[in-house]
Homo-oligomer: A and B are copies of this chain.
Amino acid sequence: MTAPAQLAPILEVGGDPLRESMVRTETALLSAAGDHGDVLRGFAEGTLSAGGKRLRPMLVYICAGDLPVSEAVLSAGVAVELLHAATLVHDDVLDRADLRRGQPTVFASGGRSAATTTGDLLFSRAFAVLVRAGDAEAVRVLSAASSALARGELVQRADAWVVDVPVERYLERCELKTARLFEAACRLGASLGSPGPGAAADALADFGRRIGVAFQIFDDVLDVSGPVERTGKARGTDLLDGTVTLPLILARGLDPLLGDLDLRSAVTTPAEAEAVCDRIAATGALEDARASALGHVKQAKAGIAGLGLPAKQKQLLDLVADGVVERYS
């Protein structure tokens, strides 16, 4: 596994026990996709081996405390990543996306049916793997996160083209479609791992939720700022989808022309989307949005500061928190 740049400091502090856990995650992900017929295995393996940062399993493991991880904790990490992969495959169907992480999507290589079905399989496998941890409460946590993801996706599509969406509604969407799974990762790790201080599970779950919101805000900033060579996708794809995110919400208050913009009629080509990205950037809204993300990270770190966590665990969590807003910077 070649780790993306922002994971390097985390893996350095985590050392061999964390590295070994991440390698076991890769093996377990591929094994979870196997045994379901050649066609499906091909698609599922393709999706999973295309990589990604494995940030969610890493959060599970760090919150669990002891490294290398137990089998139960490993199952939780793998389950969270399988669920994440399932939603990506379905998102690609809905967005008709051809590439993800530089690889052809299942939608591109197998079509709509194969991709919908592969997503369904990955959903099923997430629960099948998690239940190996033998904990019914863990299944409840993951299915609640999974319901939230679905709801977030639907809220986003219901809000499409609504340029005057309130910030609160935007943040609720970030929470549903992204932060709840980060929260679940931390809660699963804390509850299946070595017992920490009594209130640690709830506090770690809050930590996960906050960095999840920061992660999503920063993702939305990257869609406007690029650069393309780093993000792997054209700038302004959200605008073309009608997805209104924090940079545009903030910029609308700063630039009257953006305030009057009707996305559906005015942003229909990649060139138009790039021009609007430039205009958003010119308002300074990207810095404001980044500051908002950093505020969530700061809150997240403050929330676990007084828990009395072991120094190394606290250090790793801080590095993960910083990592979610330091991508490509």
Chain B nearest CB, measured from A282 CB (Å): 32
Q: Give A63-100 interface residues, CB cut-off 8 Å to B.
A: 86-87, 90, 93-94
Count the copies. 2
Chain B nearest CB, measured from A88 CB (Å): 12
Q: Are A143 and B120 in contact (CB under 8 A)?
A: no
Instruction: Choose one: B124, B136, B146; the contact of A131 (CB below 8 Å).
Output: B136
Query: A144 near B: Cβ within 8 Å?
Result: yes
Interface centre among A36, A116, A149 (most CB of B within 10 A): A116
Task: For the complex, count residues of A whose C-beta is within 8 A of B.
Answer: 44
10 new A-B contacts at CB < 8 Å, known A90-B116, A93-B116, A121-B151? A39-B155, A90-B120, A118-B150, A123-B146, A124-B147, A124-B150, A125-B147, A127-B143, A131-B136, A134-B136
Query: A197 near B: Cβ within 8 Å?
Result: no
- A118 surroundings in chain B (CB, below 8 A): 150, 154
Instruction: Choose one: B114, B123, B146; the contact of A154 (CB below 8 Å).
Output: B114
Interface centre among A112, A117, A135 (most CB of B within 10 A): A117
Q: Which residue of B lies closest to A90 (CB)?
A: B116
Q: Are B94 and A150 in contact (CB under 8 A)?
A: no
Q: Are B37 and A154 in contact (CB under 8 A)?
A: yes
Tell me what chain A mostly uses at the interface: helix, strand, loop, or mixed.
helix
Bound complex: CA of A146 vs CA of B93, how far in Å? Answer: 20
Bound complex: CA of A39 vs CA of B258, how far in Å? Answer: 29
Instruction: Choose one: B112, B124, B155; the contact of A37 (CB below 8 Å).
Output: B155
Contacts A/B (CB < 8 Å), 5 sampled: A86-B120, A113-B153, A117-B150, A120-B149, A128-B143
Chain B nearest CB, measured from A37 CB (Å): 5
Chain B nearest CB, measured from A52 CB (Å): 19
Query: A157 near B: Cβ within 8 Å?
Result: yes
- A158 surroundings in chain B (CB, below 8 A): 39
Q: Are A154 and B117 in contact (CB under 8 A)?
A: yes
Q: Are A94 and B120 in contact (CB under 8 A)?
A: no
Query: A139 near B: Cβ within 8 Å?
Result: yes
Bound complex: CA of A90 vs CA of B121, how far in Å? Answer: 12
Chain B nearest CB, measured from A130 CB (Å): 8
> What are the 10 closest A-B residue pairs judged by CB atoms, nearest first?
A124-B146, A128-B143, A121-B150, A131-B139, A120-B150, A124-B147, A127-B143, A113-B157, A117-B154, A131-B136
- A116 surroundings in chain B (CB, below 8 A): 90, 93-94, 116
Query: A312 near B: Cβ within 8 Å?
Result: no
Instruction: Choose one: B112, B123, B139; the contact of A94 (CB below 8 Å).
Output: B112
Q: Are B36 and A151 in contact (CB under 8 A)?
A: yes
Query: A55 near B: Cβ within 8 Å?
Result: no
Interface centre among A118, A134, A157 (most CB of B within 10 A): A157
